[in-house]
Every structure is written in structure tokens, then in C-alpha cells.
């Protein structure tokens, strides 16, 4: 790829990076603000951004690496948190114990 194509691609990709964020906020109804005054509209935008960030954190937090450390039973991305058993692991444990 030539230098000019790389620069054009970089400029376009900078816009693409944020498009999905605004689309998700619009899906949640964050693009509609029925308030009077700049202060309340700003608060609405801040709350919309907070909800998006919390939703994003929840989806990223669910992703765990494929290979946890066998000795410590901890994932490399979250070294201070032990692995939590999944629902399927809990069901398998209950079915083995005969409950």
C-alpha cells in the first residue's frame, strides 16, 4: 500500500472507530434529549456515556482468556480475582453429586 493510501485509510479508520459507539448510544435512546437548558442536557449526555461505559465494561469483563494459569487458577488479565465457576460447571457439579 502506498503512503497516500495509508494516510487516507488512517483518516477513514479514525472515523470508523467512533461510529459504533454513537450507534450503540443511539440504540439505547441516548440521542434523544427532552430537557430544557444546557446543564440538564449535559447531565443527560454524561449519564448516557456512563451507561454505555458500564455496558461496555460488562461485556468486556465477560471475556476471559482461553488458558488460565493452572497453579493459581487466575487469569492473566485479572491477576487479583480468582476464576469464577460458570453456570455449566455448577450444573455439572450438582449433577455429579446427585442433587
What's the start-to-end Cα distance of the chain, in Å? 62
Whole-prediction pTM:
0.48
Delimit the domains of the chain by residue range. 1-63, 67-99
- The C-alpha cell of 90 is what? 455448577
Q: Which three cell numbers stand for residue 32?
A: 434523544
Tell the residue number behind the cell numbers 449535559, with chain if given: 42
What span, in angstroms and rounded, lies between the C-alpha atoms of 95 and 77? 31
Residue pair 52/28 in contact (Cβ under 8 Å)? The answer is: yes
| Digitized pLDDT (tens) for each residue of the chain, 99 residues in all | 888 888 888 888 877 777 788 888 888 877 778 889 999 989 988 888 888 888 888 877 666 555 555 665 555 555 555 555 566 666 666 666 665
Amino acid at each position: 500500500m502506498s503512503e497516500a493510501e495509508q494516510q487516507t485509510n488512517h483518516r477513514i479508520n479514525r472515523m470508523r472507530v467512533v461510529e459504533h459507539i454513537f450507534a450503540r448510544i443511539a440504540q439505547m435512546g441516548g440521542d434523544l434529549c427532552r430537557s430544557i437548558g444546557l446543564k440538564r442536557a449535559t447531565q443527560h449526555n454524561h449519564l448516557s456515556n456512563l451507561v454505555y461505559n458500564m455496558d461496555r465494561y460488562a461485556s468486556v469483563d465477560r471475556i476471559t482468556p482461553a488458558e488460565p494459569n493452572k497453579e493459581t487458577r487466575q487469569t492473566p488479565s485479572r491477576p487479583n480475582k480468582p476464576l469464577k465457576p460458570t453456570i455449566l460447571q455448577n450444573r455439572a457439579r450438582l449433577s455429579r453429586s446427585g442433587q
